[in-house]
Amino acid sequence: QTKDDQNRNANDLQNLAKQGERVLQEAMKNPIFKEDTVQNWSKTLQQWQQLAKQKMGDAAKSMQSAQQSSKNSESRQQDMAKALQKAQEALEALQKMQQKASENLDQLQALTLAERLRRAGARETEISGDLQKNAQETVGLLPSELPDKLKQQDSTLANGQQMVQQEANKLQTEISRFSERTGKANYLEVSKAMKESRTSDELDRLGGEIRDNIVLQSANDLSEWSKRFEDWAKKLEPEKDSDGGDGKGKGGTKKNDMTKTLVALLRLRESEMTLRDQTSLLNENRGKETDYKNGAKNLAGQQKEIADKLDGLGKDNEIPSLMKPFVETYDALTETQGLLEKPQTDKTTDEAQVKSVDLMTDLINLINEQAKRPPPQSKPQEGEQQASAEDMAFLMQMMKNARESQGKPMQNPSGGGNTSGGTANRAGGPINGNVQGKGAAARNVGKASGVIENAPAEFRDALENYYRGIEQNTH
């Protein structure tokens, strides 16, 4: 019975690790989660898998051996003693993992609260900017003297400010509870600052100023609140790990760990694959010329962002053998950007995007090979090198599983590219949409509406906005 219980525990932990992989795959798509956060979470999942396979598995095997041994035999006693030791080790490891999981959840909540504060601050900046745009026409006028169009704009901005005030009120309550539960000084500091600033009341007062058309004062106060939200967000963000969050190890020397770079490259490759799908969709569903040009312009902007991020990684790289691959990949990305800016979304652009993905994959493989090479210096670094290689192998296998689960192998037009270090596969043909839409949330609008059936979930909202724009132009 104990053996069966131990096997069930191991299976349950394996299932938790699989669920964790799916969560981590989603986190890879979300820029809120920094590379070192993703790296730490992946290490935790590896530990779960190792515990389930090793200590729990060994304990179950020892119990199995004891079950098969003769009654009162010496080997049965030894097997049971070994099983007890392995079970105790598994219990202690689980307790440590539980504590680490709680810390990770606290960090996740802190990141979420910080991001919500930033969004509130960004909205204050937008409202301030909109007020200043109309200042020449509205300054000095009573609300009753404003033209109807400007009255409506002020009312919209005041309603937007009310939404910020409501969100800030929720945030203040959540941050207060969070600080009480964790007891951390920085969370308590933010909670106290929000209370002393009378955040909810002051933001509500600002909404009244907007309705009363007190333009310049309102714009200035909104800018001040935007800065406060940003300052509070910075204080809420979790501190980097002391064992390498800054990229340095003991003695101040830089660790030979490219895992963070690998995470960033995996994210960029995922973004490029998604961008390729978006480009194919736009090419197949052009709509009006202005819609097509605006869509291509947006895609070119996304392509530039990918290229800029890769350029930043290349500038931080200190491994000579990787310098040329970084340059070649950057050149391929900028070439694709130029095609989208024309605008051009045909087969030529598709092949350029596939080339970019292939080069990123080759770069990922080179980093993986670099991690596997034996360190030239002291033995203590060998453990770090092995851990780095294991982290990379785990992350690439995880992303490969995610891609294969979508059932979309990519055909490489050039026939080249090394994909051994993680699949870059996606379907090479055009992606045709179901313009009728599907599901219970159907809308009674023109035929261009609805979510494209084959579109990945991460950019269905963008497609909805695209077709909504077409509908507005055609009605």
> Tens of pLDDT along 227-248?
999 999 999 887 665 444 444 4
| pLDDT score of 144 | 79
Mean pLDDT score across all residues of the chain = 76
**254 bridge partner residues:** 248
Q: Is 82 exposed, middle or buried (0-12, 13-18, 19+ CB in 10 A)?
A: middle
Pick the more confident residue, 460 or 7: 7
Rounded to two decimals, what is the model's pTM? 0.56
pLDDT at 448 over 60: no
| pLDDT score of 199 | 92
Least confident piece of the model among 229-243, 313-327, 414-428: 414-428
| pLDDT score of 67 | 79
**For residues 321-337, average pLDDT:** 91
| pLDDT score of 399 | 60
Output the CA angle 452-458-463, nearest 5 degrees. Answer: 40
- Closest to 232 measured CA to CA, from 113, 129, 125, 126: 113
List the structure tokens of 45.
């999942």
**For residues 412-437, average pLDDT:** 41
Long-range contacts of 382-386 (CB under 8 A, 24+ apart): 384/249, 384/255, 384/256, 384/257, 385/256
Residues across the chain: 475
